[in-house]
Amino acid sequence: MKAVFVNTGNGRGARLSIGGKRAVTGLLFISPFLIGFLAFMAIPLFQSLAMAFSEVGLDNVKHAFTLSFRGLGNFNNAFFVDAGFNRSLVSELMRMLAFVPSVIIFSIFTALLMNQEFWGRAFARTVFFMPVILSAGVFASIEASTHAASSLLDMARSNFYVGGFLSEIVQEILQGINNNLNVNIAGYVLLAVSRVYTIAMASGIQVVIFLSALQGIPPSMYEAAELEGCGKWECFWKVTFPLLVPQIFVVVVYSIVDFLTGGINAVMNNIAGDSNRFRWGEASAKAWIYMALVIAILGIITALLSKKVRYND
Domains in the chain: ranges and CATH: 78-308 (1.10.3720.10)
Q: State residue 163's pLDDT score.
A: 46
| 3-state secondary structure labels for all residues of 89-153 | HHHHHHHHHHHHHHHHHHHHHHHHHHCCCCCCHHHHHHHHHHHHHHCCHHHHHHHHHCHHHHHHH
Cβ atoms within 10 A of the Cβ of 81, count? 12
Q: State residue 148's pLDDT score.
A: 46
CA–CA separation, 47 and 278 (whole Å): 16
Q: State residue 161's pLDDT score.
A: 44
The sign of the CA dihedral 20, 22, 23, 24 is: positive
H-run or E-run covering 57? strand 54-59
**At residue 68, what are phi and psi to the nearest 5 degrees?**
-125, 115
Q: State residue 299's pLDDT score.
A: 92
SS3 7: strand
CA–CA separation, 47 and 65 (whole Å): 10
Q: State residue 296's pLDDT score.
A: 93
In a structure prediction context, what are the per-residue pLDDT tens digits for the chain, which is 313 residues long? 455 555 555 555 567 777 778 888 888 999 999 999 898 888 888 888 888 898 888 777 777 777 888 888 889 888 888 888 888 888 888 888 888 888 898 889 888 888 887 777 777 777 766 666 565 544 555 544 544 445 544 544 444 444 444 445 444 544 555 555 555 555 555 555 556 677 777 788 888 889 889 988 888 888 888 888 888 888 888 889 888 988 999 999 999 998 888 767 888 888 888 888 888 888 888 999 999 999 999 999 888 888 777 766 5
